[in-house]
Amino acid sequence: MAKLLEGKVAIVTGASRGIGRAVSVALAQEAATVVLAARSIEELQNTADMVSQAGGKSKIIITELTEERSIKNLVEVTGEKYGRLNILVNNAGVTHSAKLEETLTEDWEHCLRVNARAPFILCREALPLLKQTQAAHIINIASVVGVKGYPLQSAYTASKHALRGMTISLAEELRGSNVRVHVLCPGGVDTDMVDRVRPDIAKDELIKPEEIAELVLYLVTHRGNAVLDELRIRRATSAPWF
């Protein structure tokens, strides 16, 4: 039976571990070709091996998301190699934990640069390719803090509000076009990131990266008249309706 993403090309940022790795593998299970973007070559190679075991193809493009030139290179190389792009997953992200009064301007700027500025540049650069396809998707991974705020996370929270806001605006701009734009807002997911910032949450209560990946796969394989703009995903043990 033909796989659902046969012939489709996806870019996944932050593909070297965590949610990005799980998303890359999930897309590969439906035979997508996945362009794996991050900085850690060894970890990217591990993801590439997992993609190939899952039945997909991949290409690693080392990308430094704080640098506009590097982001443009990611799209240019993808375009040159495949001539198309169907799916863009803006997943890479960084956190910073500190009281606002102890947050350095550099820490604030770094969060905004990776979490909001890079997805903006990627969307802008990728749209000409995405628009050439019949049915394209942009999926931006924000966070519960794209909707609400937690103490000690002002820089991270600001960056995720920015990403979510940009997504809403872009979805309006692309309304009626072939490109659908979605934002995911997860609570705690079992990755290195949550180990660093929320060690207080019991590991067995965390959302699995594969669960987020399943939702991404759902979004890019269901192309009916119904559209899911935003998914808020919470841990089963946390309060409903964040």
Ligand X SMILES: NC(=O)c1ccc[n+]([C@@H]2O[C@H](COP(=O)([O-])OP(=O)(O)OC[C@H]3O[C@@H](n4cnc5c(N)ncnc54)[C@H](OP(=O)(O)O)[C@@H]3O)[C@@H](O)[C@H]2O)c1
If the CB atoms of residues 109 and 223 are measured against ligand X, the closer one turns out to be 109
If the CB atoms of residues 3 and 214 are measured against ligand X, the closer one turns out to be 214
Sign of CA dihedral 6, 11, 12, 14: positive
Report, in Å, the least distance between residue 194 CB and ligand X. Answer: 4
Pick one of 3, 31, 39, 230: the residue that binds ligand X (CB under 6 A).
39
Q: Which of 242, 25, 32, 1 is nearest to 137 (CA)?
A: 32
Q: How many CA atoms lie within 13 A of 124 on its CB side?
A: 10
Q: Tokens 């290409």, residue?
A: 59
> Letter for the amino acid at 239?
A
Report, in Å, the least distance between residue 202 CB and ligand X. Answer: 13
For 58, phi then psi, to 5°, come to: -145, 160
Report, in Å, the least distance between residue 42 CB and ligand X. Answer: 9
> Letter for the amino acid at 37?
A
Packing angle, helices 41-53 and 18-29, rounded to 10? 30
Residues 89-148 that bind ligand X (CB under 6 A): 91-94, 114, 141, 143
Report, in Å, the least distance between residue 82 CB and ligand X. Answer: 21
Q: Which of 65, 50, 167, 168 is nearest to 114 (CA)?
A: 65
- The DSSP code for 146 is G
User: Across-strand partners of 57?
Assistant: 33
Catalytic residue among 82, 150, 156, 218: 156
Residues 51-80 that bind ligand X (CB under 6 A): 63-66
Binding window for ligand X (CB under 6 A); candidates: 51-59, 126-134, 184-192, 219-227? 184-192
Please confirm, yes or no, whether 156 is among the known catalytic residues: yes
If the CB atoms of residues 117 and 180 are measured against ligand X, the closer one turns out to be 117
Pick one of 10, 28, 38, 217: the residue that binds ligand X (CB under 6 A).
38
Report, in Å, the least distance between residue 45 CB and ligand X. Answer: 11
The residue length of the chain stands at: 242
Q: Which of 15, 171, 30 is nearest to 78 (CA)?
A: 15
Binding window for ligand X (CB under 6 A); candidates: 11-19, 48-56, 73-81, 98-106? 11-19
Interface with ligand X by CB under 6 A: which residues? Answer: 14, 16-20, 38-40, 43, 63-66, 91-94, 114, 141, 143, 186, 188-189, 191-194
